[in-house]
Chains A and B, each alone.
Chain A
Amino acid sequence: MFQYYLKLSWLSIKRTPMLSALMVIAIGLGISVSITVLTVDYLMSKDPLPGKSHKLFHVQLDTYNKGNTDSAPGGLPYQLTYQDLMNLSRSEIPSKQSRSLRSGFSVIPEKVGLTPFSRSARVIDNDFFEMFKVPFLFGSPWEDEVNNKAKKVVVIAKRLNDKLFDGENSVGKTINLDKQLFTIVGVIDTWEPTPRFYDVNNGAFSDTEQLFIPFSLIPVLELPSWGSNNAWKSEVFESYEDKLRSETMWLQYWVQLDTKAKQEEYREFLAGYVEQQRPLGRFEKEDAKTDIKDVVQWMENNRVVSDDNSVLVGLSFMFLAVCMLNTIALLLAKYLKRAPEVGVRRALGASKLEIFTQHIVDVGLIGLAGGALGLLLGQLGLLGVKSLYANYERLVNMDLTLIATAIGLAIGASIIAGLYPAWLICRTNPSIYLKTQ
């Protein structure tokens, strides 16, 4: 019967093209607005590392003195001091770990015709690549020993490799960064996690860095931070060493803890670390907190999806509801016009349920058309978002899940809108129309 109902729906659409078109437009508009906002919201908040994100933890310590509290949610600072980072990284509890800093260099190309340009760099340990599933095109991360013994090696991004080496395998070649030659050990494939979950506090929707260099180079090259620096203590730095010894928080730290037991052990380790540091005059607060947050918790903590966005999602669904209310009115008009035919069908043996189902299939088909139109209009909406907000560029691509959501939402909303008209029409007394047709 489903095919028969589809055929009847198609005939019904052909019979009432204007009404049907108005309904498709109403649904399409509602869906397009909803799906545009939903796309941005979904891509902002989705788990960037499904299956692994719950094992990766960002480490936080409350190093503030008494009377001072960080303004970040929960009062815990986003970043760590260099001295804490170095101390914590000696722990063998994490199966993998990566210290992290956002810095940058002037790239001085050898290629004729290219002028120097600056690029941000991610300063990390080699575990970073495996922890965050960074795909390699050529080569591999640097050796473990480089994490402790500084060496001028670099992993570059495909985009940079294309620019400097025309996409060829550049492993073993050198690249001039701030007038120092770095040996390329790897080229990563396109990797644009959105949001950039490993450093959301330095721009969750910024571009991924194109240079990755060992963390051990920080003291050697006295690398500057291209990200945020936070401090509660007034300190004067006469040398880079002073900064490394300071209470300035400018570095991030990720650890991989594979089991609940390991996570618990690490929490105890952090609490113990705070107690160990107290005799040195640090961690003045009696209740100095420590915490580890997995990737999703970290994104939530940093409000990657802002409250404004949630409000927008709500508003877009209200707009969809208004569109569906209009659709209900149009459906009522269409179905009441069709009541005589329903009377005939009832006389010929259709039950109320069959009439109801026929009309639900009808609204489902209209919803499908509305969903398709909504997807097209939604793409335009996303292009609008892209043109307005450069940082959202990677958020404006619908994946299959979102396309299915749009279609499902359109059909679902249409069916809900169609329930009352379909119920009304199937309850109509057929005998009224059989005499008057």
Chain B
Amino acid sequence: MLKMNNIKKVFRTDLVETHALRDFSLQVEEKEFVAVTGPSGSGKTTFLNITGMLETFDGGVYELDNEDVSKLNDKQRSRLRNEKIGFIFQSFNLIPDLNLFDNVDVPLRYRGFNAKERKQRIENALERVGLSARLKHLPSQLSGGQQQRVAIARALAGDPRFLLADEPTGNLDSLMARQVMQLLEEINQQGTTIIMVTHDSELARRAHRNIHIVDGQVSDYQDLQPVLDVAEA
């Protein structure tokens, strides 16, 4: 369902060429929860941006649900992103002058849903993250944890197949981080595939699979599910 083969990404300036990803290959199956770790500058975020079609790549093949992404134009990529991918960011990236309802509404607008369906989806999504009573609040009136839950609601409102999370707990204290992680796990259990970039090894261990990136390449590949199964037992 998500397949990358020998992806290359090079950032160029007049003087320097930086290879962000080199022959990067990965396959993610449906309903997986994959944690991506690695040192700063290793290429984690570049990988996530390419996965979310926010960045183009310089070589290799990337297929999302059997569609060759490199052959799509901007409109098709945007459509695919809107329908199949939800984003969660470290700094939440809520739009400050839109209330919660309108923030969650953003991806639904681009999907072209009618007003009634949008309203239904927004209310459901905010209820799912426990914020249905704060539809008219502005992001600035919420705590960091609450803002991240709104961002999750926004990402989920369109029922995406994939959730891409870039350090989703990076700006949260440990209590809120645990709550957000718990929410992500619930979402994954309900069938959404999650790819999460994190520096936090504890969080990474809670994923099904841990991919470690160093210098733009997958350096380690660890299936953690058996470990977690033992821990749960």
Chain A positions near chain B (C-beta within 8 angstroms)? 1, 4, 11, 14-15, 340-341, 343-354, 429-431, 434-435, 437
Contact = CB atoms under 8 A, between A and B. Distances in A.
Contact of A350 (B78, B93, B158): B78
B110 A434 contact: no
A430 B106 contact: no
Contacts, number: 73
Contact of B90 (A341, A349, A435): A435
Nearest to A355: B78
Interface string B44-63: 01000100101100000000
A353 B75 contact: yes
B54 A347 contact: yes
Contact of B87 (A14, A15, A348): A348
Contacts of A351: 74-75, 78-79, 110
A435 B45 CA distance: 9
Contact of A341 (B45, B79, B91, B95): B95
User: Which 3 residue pairs are nearest across A and B when measured between Cβ atoms?
Assistant: A349-B82, A351-B78, A348-B107
Contact of B55 (A345, A354, A429): A429
Q: Residue among A344, A346, A354 with the most chain B CB within 10 A?
A: A344
A66 to B, nearest CB: 77
A338 B166 CA distance: 22
A349 B107 contact: yes
Nearest to A7: B102
A65 B166 CA distance: 95
B97 A348 contact: no
Nearest to B112: A1
Contact of A354 (B52, B89, B110, B166): B110
Given A348-B82, A350-B78, A353-B75, A430 B54 contact: yes
Contact of B54 (A346, A353, A354): A346
Contacts of B97: 11, 14-15
A431 B54 contact: yes
Contacts of A354: 78, 110
A344 B93 contact: yes
A434 B95 CA distance: 12
A347 B93 CA distance: 10
Given A11-B97, A347-B87, A353-B75, A431 B109 contact: no
Interface of B: 45, 49, 52, 54-55, 74-75, 78-79, 81-83, 87, 89-91, 93, 95, 97-98, 106-107, 109-111, 154, 158, 166
B199 to A, nearest CB: 13
Contacts of B75: 351-353
Interface SS of chain A: helix
Q: Residue among A15, A345, A347 with the most chain B CB within 10 A?
A: A347
Contacts of A435: 45, 89-91, 166
Contacts of A4: 109
A337 B98 CA distance: 17
A7 B149 CA distance: 25
B65 to A, nearest CB: 16
Nearest to B56: A429
Contacts of B83: 349
Q: Residue among A348, A352, A429 with the most chain B CB within 10 A?
A: A348
A349 B110 contact: yes
Contacts of B89: 434-435, 437
B147 to A, nearest CB: 12
A349 B105 CA distance: 12
Nearest to B50: A431
Contacts of B95: 341, 344
Nearest to A430: B54
Contact of B78 (A11, A343, A346, A431): A346
A347 B109 contact: no
A347 B87 CA distance: 7
Nearest to A435: B45
Given A4-B109, A348-B106, A354-B78, 8 more contacts: A341-B95, A343-B93, A344-B93, A345-B106, A347-B52, A352-B74, A353-B75, A434-B87
26 contacts: A1-B109, A11-B97, A344-B93, A344-B95, A344-B106, A345-B106, A346-B78, A347-B52, A348-B87, A348-B107, A348-B110, A350-B82, A350-B110, A351-B74, A351-B79, A352-B74, A352-B75, A352-B78, A353-B75, A354-B110, A429-B55, A430-B54, A435-B90, A435-B91, A435-B166, A437-B93
Q: Residue among B78, B90, B107, B154 with the most chain A CB within 10 A?
A: B78
A174 B93 CA distance: 86
A353 B55 CA distance: 17
